[in-house]
A and B are shown apart, each in its own frame.
Chain A
Amino acid sequence: MRRGQIEFGESLMVVIVLVFLLIIGIVFYFSATQGSLRGEQQYREEIESVKLAKAVLGLPEVRCGSYDAAGTCIDGLKLAALSRMLNASDKEFDEPAWAYYGRLFGYATIKVNVPPVGGPAEEYVLYHDKPDTETASSRQFIFTTLYDPVSETQRLAYLNVTRYTVVQR
């Protein structure tokens, strides 16, 4: 083989290696960007679930009235009434209310759990809507109290909010 041909081949190899390195660089850069976007998305999902839990606790529809126990307690009877409107399969199910709160809460499961302290454990499902497709979920717990306006007693409870996000393929 002539020397000129060898040097031409060497130069060609240098260009090929350069192009190969550039392609690796581009692939690495875009995968890093994708990873960063996924991280940002995950961070936002966490924040959204905190916002949802705070929003539920702040709902005047379930909060105690100003004449009742002070603080951010949940009125047991209001909770039961809203829960029946959103979950019952009978005439108590309220279609417009479901449409309204369905848009407000999105894909989520919202429960109020009463731990077995000073009485039996109880669980109230306020709202449940989980998509059929594959989902990612983030969960938040906020401690509060559940107020019974008949007996005028309060029990320790926690708001258990799970927010679902449809996984994009």
Chain B
Amino acid sequence: MRRFHGRGQHEIPLHWIFALVGGALFLLFFFILIRSVTTQHEEKSGRDLAFAVETIVTTAAATPDTFTVTDLQDAKYAFACERDAASFLSYVFVEGAAKQAKAQLDTENLRYVPVFSPSSVSGDQLFTSTRAWEAPFPVGSLVLLSNNRTRYVLVGDTRLIKSFVEEENLGGFDILRKGRDAFKDVKDEGLDQYRFVFFNTGFQLPPQEFLGKRNGALVVHTDDNGETGTLDFYDNLRLGANAPSKKGVPFAGRALLDAAIFSQDSNSFDCNMLKARERLNTTITILQRRLEVLGNGSALQLKCGPLFDEAKAALIAYSNSPDRAFAAAAAGSGPIILLSSINQRAFAADCPSIY
């Protein structure tokens, strides 16, 4: 009896120690496992979402003149284009509503895609539309991005507004046509953002409920149905802000007008337009070399040579000063208008196109 008691004194604590050590190890293992799986799932979810958005944006750029609605996970998607003297930083940032999954995607792909959008869009849908920027030849694709929580209020010239919405296939976006009534019956419906666009009419400060919330406005001055003209940007509307943030920006081509309307502000517009304009010089060089080949020793030289020479001179003037060419186009003259005219004449004369 004493012997049994003595053995029990040793055995029972020893088994408990083993059970505790084993149990603790098991608990630790499963704790680490669950924590690791949860973290990895959240990270992967954020990465997948950011990758999906990046894929949507970059593939949209490759298919001009399309409008697409994409269903995604409910989240807040932020888009940014920042620039310094040397380069751009372009990224999409996704913040998951449910699991706080965060992911930032800063890729070389986005760095080359001009994306005109609000700084952030919330919800489970993305609307994308792609415009081919032609000045007058195709230079690049501009991606317009928004969703059903951003409303565009169009004020002013009703004829221009009608053609803008219908011809540009923008009916899928949340657009409110107000004509000349300006803000009559326009109420803040709790959306994330409102952007006011004034067509050939002066700027009017929207009612107080629309001030703040990063809402902005754009005034469009155009004499030719939105093909060329100038733009005044009013960034971050607030009480007493009646002066434009940027005034008299020339545009040539409806795609640029669309891009300005969908931009968060003038800085975002400038940054993304610089991305688009990087291709301009290469494209001009390619067209010059193409014209040289077309003209060299070809049977076309006799019939089309003068047109080719005229186009070469216009391309040289264009490449020497693109900014001057844009400003001249807004005034209805200059190399951009000339190239467009030469191309039409080439087509009429049964010559190969200039671009």
Contact = CB atoms under 8 A, between A and B. Distances in A.
B21 interface: yes
A115 interface: no
Nearest to B290: A77
Given A4-B11, A82-B286, A103-B108, A29 B352 contact: no
A94 B18 contact: no
Interface stretch (A56-64, A117-125, A128-136): A56-64
Contact of B62 (A3, A55, A77, A100): A55
Contacts of B290: 75, 77-78, 81, 149
A81 B140 contact: no
Nearest to A149: B352
Contacts of B353: 65-68, 149
B90 to A, nearest CB: 12
Interface in A15-62: 15, 18-19, 22, 25-26, 29, 33, 40, 44, 47, 51, 54-55, 57-58, 60-61
B interface, how many residues as a size bin? 35 or more
A40 B43 CA distance: 13
B175 interface: no
Nearest to A151: B352
Interface of B: 7, 10-11, 14-15, 18, 21-22, 25-26, 29, 33, 36, 40, 44, 51, 55, 58-59, 61-64, 108-109, 111-112, 132, 137-141, 278-279, 281-283, 285-287, 289-290, 293-294, 298, 300, 343, 346-347, 352-353, 355
3 closest cross-chain pairs (CB), A and B: A58-B62, A60-B138, A81-B289
26 contacts: A8-B14, A15-B22, A18-B26, A22-B26, A29-B33, A47-B55, A51-B58, A51-B109, A54-B62, A57-B62, A58-B141, A60-B137, A60-B141, A61-B282, A63-B138, A75-B290, A80-B289, A81-B286, A81-B289, A82-B286, A97-B282, A103-B108, A104-B108, A149-B294, A150-B294, A150-B298
Given A40-B44, A47-B51, A60-B140, 9 more contacts: A18-B22, A54-B63, A65-B343, A65-B353, A65-B355, A75-B290, A81-B286, A85-B285, A150-B352
Interface of A: 3-4, 7-8, 11-12, 14-15, 18-19, 22, 25-26, 29, 33, 40, 44, 47, 51, 54-55, 57-58, 60-61, 63, 65-68, 75, 77-78, 80-82, 84-85, 94, 96-97, 100-101, 103-104, 106, 149-150, 152
